[in-house]
Amino acid sequence: MRTMLWVQAACCGGETTSLLNADQPLVDRALRLADARFLWHPYLQAADAPPLEETLARCASGAEPLDLLVVEGAVCRGPWASQGHRTLQRPLSEWADELAVAARYVVAVGTCASFGGVMVHGRNRPGMSGLQFTRDRPGGLLGEQYRSSGGLPVVNVPGCPAHPDWMIGTIVALLADRLRPEDLDRFHRPRLFYSRLAHHGCPRNEYYEFKSSAEQYSQQGCLFENLGCRGTQCDSDCNERLWLGRTGSCPRGGFPCVSCTSPGFPDRFEPFFETPKVGGIPTSLPLDVPKAWYVGISGLSKLACPPRLRRNAVSFTRGESAPEDPDDDGPANADG
Which residues are near ligand SF4 by CB under 6 A?
A: 159, 198-199, 202, 204-205, 208, 222-224, 229, 231-232, 234, 236, 238, 249-251, 257-261
Strand segments (E) across the chain: 2-8, 36-40, 68-72, 75-76, 105-109, 128-129, 133-134, 137-138, 155-157, 277-278, 281-282
Question: At its nearest, how many Å lie between ligand SF4 and the CB of residue 192?
Answer: 15
Three-state DSSP at 60 gives helix
Could you tell me which of 186, 101, 84, 77 has the C-alpha nearest to residue 149? 101
Question: At its nearest, how many Å lie between ligand SF4 and the CB of residue 201?
Answer: 9
Contact assessment for residue 167 and residue 159, using Cβ atoms and an 8 Å cutoff: no
Pick between residue 126 and residue 159 the one whose CB is nearest to ligand SF4: 159
Pick between residue 84 and residue 282 the one whose CB is nearest to ligand SF4: 282
Pick between residue 3 and residue 213 the one whose CB is nearest to ligand SF4: 213
Alpha carbons 3 and 60: distance in angstroms, whole number: 13
Computed over its alpha carbons, how large is the radius of gyration of the chain?
A: 22
Pick between residue 66 and residue 250 the one whose CB is nearest to ligand SF4: 250
Pick between residue 101 and residue 285 the one whose CB is nearest to ligand SF4: 285
Pick between residue 46 and residue 297 the one whose CB is nearest to ligand SF4: 297
Question: At its nearest, how many Å lie between ligand SF4 and the CB of residue 99?
Answer: 28
| Peptide bond between residue 25 and the one before it cis (omega within 30 degrees of 0) | yes
* Straight-line distance from the first to the last Cα atom of the chain, in angstroms, rounded to the nearest whole number: 52
Pick between residue 10 and residue 198 the one whose CB is nearest to ligand SF4: 198
Question: At its nearest, how many Å lie between ligand SF4 and the CB of residue 261?
Answer: 5
Three-state DSSP at 178 gives coil
Residue 108, strand partner residues = 71, 156
Question: At its nearest, how many Å lie between ligand SF4 and the CB of residue 169?
Answer: 16
Contact assessment for residue 147 and residue 5, using Cβ atoms and an 8 Å cutoff: no
Alpha carbons 94 and 324: distance in angstroms, whole number: 65
Contact assessment for residue 246 and residue 208, using Cβ atoms and an 8 Å cutoff: no
Question: At its nearest, how many Å lie between ligand SF4 and the CB of residue 257?
Answer: 3
Question: At its nearest, how many Å lie between ligand SF4 and the CB of residue 319?
Answer: 19
